[in-house]
Structure 1
Amino acid sequence: MSRATAGLPAAARAFLALPHTAALTTLRPDGTPHATPVRFTFDASAGLVRVTTRAGARKARNVAAGGAAARVALCQADGFRWLTLEGRAAVTDDPARLAEAVRRYTDRYRTASPAPPDLVVVEMAVDRVQSLNL
């Protein structure tokens, strides 16, 4: 568990378990932000956010272009409650990591994850948490 997520209050964990979408913000190679709605999973014990997507999607390309320094932010909001998770991210097509991401997605959203032929997972190691009204 990351230090950032170790002290996450029960209300925040419950909020992150709701089947909402969130906005994922990545940085384009020119440094401008790219925000897109995503479905995601949060693994509190590992301090890890997972987003499945296509390898050719802008968000995946942005993370890959950022290399080891790539940072992303994911914000889930519901009315006046919101929670933002930030951290370093990487893109992988490792079969075991993809299977875990798809399993968690299916558990959270009660539907199968889309399965394009170029499926990858963006994994973010959370190192900062911000929230309001949680």
Structure 2
Amino acid sequence: MTGQEPVTELDRRYSAEDAAPTPWAEARAGLAEAEVYWLSTVRGDGRPHVTPLIAVWAEGALYFCTGVGERKAANLADNPCCALTTGANALREGVDLVLEGRAEPATDETLLGRVAEAYVRKYGEGWRFAVRDGAFHGEGGRALVYRVAPVTAFAFAKGPYAQTRYRF
């Protein structure tokens, strides 16, 4: 994203009468501050695959990494469309967030250096990666890094209930 604000729409069908749309700044902050995300991809035979992971918000997108031989890497090689979700995991409070987009490989080593530093700031020294050959390298070996810029995002606020869609 180039700093452009999304079109924001409150879906009144699924929102309380007194609800207001969740501002994008609040949703973006929730995406940045979350510790755990759920990545949904599609296997080559069409079956879904969902897995928890950690990620960082940087430069208008979520970044995550995965080992070269992992299921999510194989799925994304075939179909880069995915969704990342995170939230309060509660019925009556908080905001759940969904970000839909395309997982594009991030290989520029200057960018990867900034993303690697974002991992350390967010998750601590145990998540320090070396950057070389267009990838992260750590105790688990080589990890591919993906950038998911939002195409569509949703915020599901509770108390009052409000379903907000963001179109980029």
C-alpha separation in 2, matches of 1:58 and 1:39: 16
Does residue 1:63 correspond to 2:73, yes or no?
A: no
Mean alpha-carbon deviation: is it higher for 14-23 or for 123-132? 14-23
What is the Cα-based RMSD across aligned positions, in Å? Answer: 2.3
Q: Which residue of 2 aligns with 1:23?
A: 38
Q: Of the candidates 93, 101, 115, which is equivalent to residue 101 of structure 1?
A: 115
SS state at 1:118 partner: strand
Q: Which residue of 1 aligns with 2:5?
A: 6
C-alpha separation in 2, matches of 1:87 and 1:19: 18
Aligned length: 128
Query: 1:104 Cα shift?
Result: 1.5
Asked if 1 retains the 8 angstrom alpha-carbon contact of 2:41 and 2:48, the reply is yes
**Which residue type is aligned with residue 83 of structure 1?**
L
Q: Which residue of 1 aligns with 2:84?
A: 74
Q: Which residue of 1 aligns with 2:141?
A: 117
C-alpha separation in 2, matches of 1:18 and 1:105: 12
Does residue 1:131 correspond to 2:155, yes or no?
A: yes
Does residue 1:53 correspond to 2:63, yes or no?
A: no
C-alpha separation in 2, matches of 1:93 and 1:118: 12
**Kindly, what percent of the aligned residue pairs are identical?**
30
**Which residue type is aligned with residue 81 of structure 2?**
R
After superposition, residues 23-42 of structure 1 pair within 5 angstroms as 23-42=38-57
C-alpha separation in 2, matches of 1:37 and 1:83: 14
- Larger-Rg structure: 2
Residues 1:52 and 1:122: Cα distance change in structure 2 (over 3 Å):
same
Asked if 2 retains the 8 angstrom alpha-carbon contact of 1:63 and 1:91, the reply is no
Query: 1:14 Cα shift?
Result: 2.4
Q: Kindly report structure 1 stretches of 4+ aligned residues shifted beyond 6 Å.
A: none
1:12-45 deviations in Å (ceiling 9; x for gaps): 12222324201001111111111000101122xx
